[in-house]
């Protein structure tokens, strides 16, 4: 099955939010890329992998009622664009809360959860999801 190595290649980003900083413009991005989408060839040789802290605010969010099979156990589930403290925007599921608990600007932190399973005998994929800080202790962001 091809998905196990495909996910495995992305583990540093999925587990620890490794993105990059363009040392030409100073912006942070996620996921990692070879060149800066803004500076393009001017960024060649100036791309630095950076571990993002995992704290940020909700830029926008939606409640999904008809989504992926993997998320049926949590339906309806919430997906948000999160603007991380470093400035990078990242899309992820927001968990352990209801949509009414959230608004644009709600502070969240990243945590590691199961993303999907390849059936009951296949590989389990883990990665980042977000929890609203108002839901629990603020101090345990991704570190």
Q: What is the rounded distance in angstroms from the CA atom of residue 22 to the CA atom of residue 26?
A: 5
DSSP letter for 129, please.
Answer: E
Whether 20 contacts 49, CB under 8 Å:
yes
The yes or no reply on residue 114 touching other proteins (CB under 8 A) is yes
Number of residues that bind other proteins (CB under 8 A): 27
Among 3, 15, 60, 103, which residue sits at the site for other proteins (rule: CB under 8 A)?
15
The yes or no reply on residue 103 touching other proteins (CB under 8 A) is no
Among 16, 23, 27, 57, which residue sits at the site for other proteins (rule: CB under 8 A)?
16
**Burial class for 51, CB neighbours closer than 10 Å (0-12, 13-18, 19+):** middle
Contacting positions for other proteins (CB under 8 A): 11-12, 15-16, 51, 73-74, 95-96, 111-115, 119-120, 124, 126, 129, 135-140, 142-143
């Amino acid at each position: 099955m091809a998905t196990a190595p495909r996910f495995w290649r992305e583990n540093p980003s999925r587990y620890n939010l490794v993105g990059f900083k363009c040392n030409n413009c100073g912006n942070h991005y996620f996921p990692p890329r070879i060149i800066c989408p803004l500076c393009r060839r001017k960024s060649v040789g100036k791309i630095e992998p950076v571990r993002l802290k995992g704290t940020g605010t909700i830029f926008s969010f939606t409640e999904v009622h008809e989504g992926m099979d993997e998320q049926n156990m949590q339906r309806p589930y919430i997906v948000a664009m999160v603007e991380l403290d470093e400035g990078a925007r990242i899309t992820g599921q927001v968990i352990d809360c209801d949509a009414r608990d959230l608004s644009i600007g709600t502070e969240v932190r990243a945590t590691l959860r199961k993303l999907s399973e390849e059936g009951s005998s296949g590989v389990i994929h883990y990665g980042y999801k977000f929890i609203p800080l108002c839901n629990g202790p603020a101090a345990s962001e991704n570190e």
